Chains A and B, each alone.
Chain A
Amino acid sequence: AQKVTQAQTEISVVEKEDVTLDCVYETRDTTYYLFWYKQPPSGELVFLIRRNSFDEQNEISGRYSWNFQKSTSSFNFTITASQVVDSAVYFCALEGSQGNLIFGKGTKLSVKP
């Protein structure tokens, strides 16, 4: 079975703090893709990153970085020097066998000024 677990339901930080959002996945596939999406209060989902299971290099994009650890089936997301605009619900997702996405339940991040 394929499954994505985001154990942190809500996280609250003060602006400029670093914060890490955890994601653990389960799959029997040897090749798979993992994703992170951001859902601001307006509701739409914004694509952040896609990671191929063959590529275990960490990725950095500005204040965002992702740590992919195949050995622990984790794909964690870190925001450095958080800002109020980072407040949103963040979803980790695993690609299903039909090209659809299997989502975790999301982590609500609140960044306070």
Chain B
Amino acid sequence: DGGITQSPKYLFRKEGQNVTLSCEQNLNHDAMYWYRQDPGQGLRLIYYSQIVNDFQKGDIAEGYSVSREKKESFPLTVTSAQKNPTAFYLCASSITAGSESPLHFGNGTRLTVT
């Protein structure tokens, strides 16, 4: 079955360490997105990529980095510069960037930094 796989489901790190969250999709979608969810805050856009080898900052990109070397993969690195990294991270994809297709979401990774 096609879908979006995020791994791991739970991730624990010490403060000051970089950590990379995985996002893989086999839907052949061009566009991919990373959102951050905090309690009572809804989802906020971190980065998005409309096509391979291209990505753009979202609303809260500071302290994060991404790469898009393959169509299927859009890993997110949470760097030590991110002041409040503990959150639930959701990856999404769509056929193209635009309203022709809704976003499909992965199951999320819950990151805890202590």
Interface residues of A (CB under 8 A from B): 9, 33, 35, 37, 42-47, 50, 52, 91, 95-96, 98-106
Question: Can you give 25 A-B contacts (C-beta < 8 A)?
Answer: A9-B40, A35-B102, A42-B107, A43-B110, A44-B105, A44-B108, A45-B43, A45-B90, A45-B92, A45-B103, A47-B104, A50-B99, A50-B102, A52-B99, A91-B42, A96-B45, A98-B50, A100-B45, A100-B48, A101-B103, A103-B43, A105-B40, A105-B41, A105-B42, A106-B42
Q: How many A-B residue pairs have CB under 8 A?
A: 62
Indicate whether A43 sits within 8 Å of B42 (C-beta atoms), given known contacts A100-B33, A100-B48. Answer: no
What does the 1/0 interface line of B20-54 toward A look like (CB < 8 Å)?
Answer: 00000000000101010000111111001010000
Q: How far is the CA of A100 from the CA of B103 in the complex (A)?
A: 8
Q: Which of B78-107 contact A (CB under 8 A)?
A: 88, 90, 92, 94, 96-99, 102-107
Kindly identify which residue among B31, B40, B88, B96 contacts A43, using a CB–CB cutoff of 8 Å.
Answer: B88
* Tally of chain B residues near chain A (CB < 8 A): 29
Interface residues of B (CB under 8 A from A): 31, 33, 35, 40-45, 48, 50, 56, 58, 88, 90, 92, 94, 96-99, 102-108, 110
Interchain nearest-CB distance for A3 vs B (Å): 11
Q: How far is the CA of A92 from the CA of B41 in the complex (A)?
A: 13
Q: How far is the CA of A106 from the CA of B90 in the complex (A)?
A: 15
Q: Which A residue sits closest to B105, measured CB to CB? A: A45
Q: How far is the CA of A93 from the CA of B104 in the complex (A)?
A: 14
Q: How far is the CA of A105 from the CA of B50 in the complex (A)?
A: 25
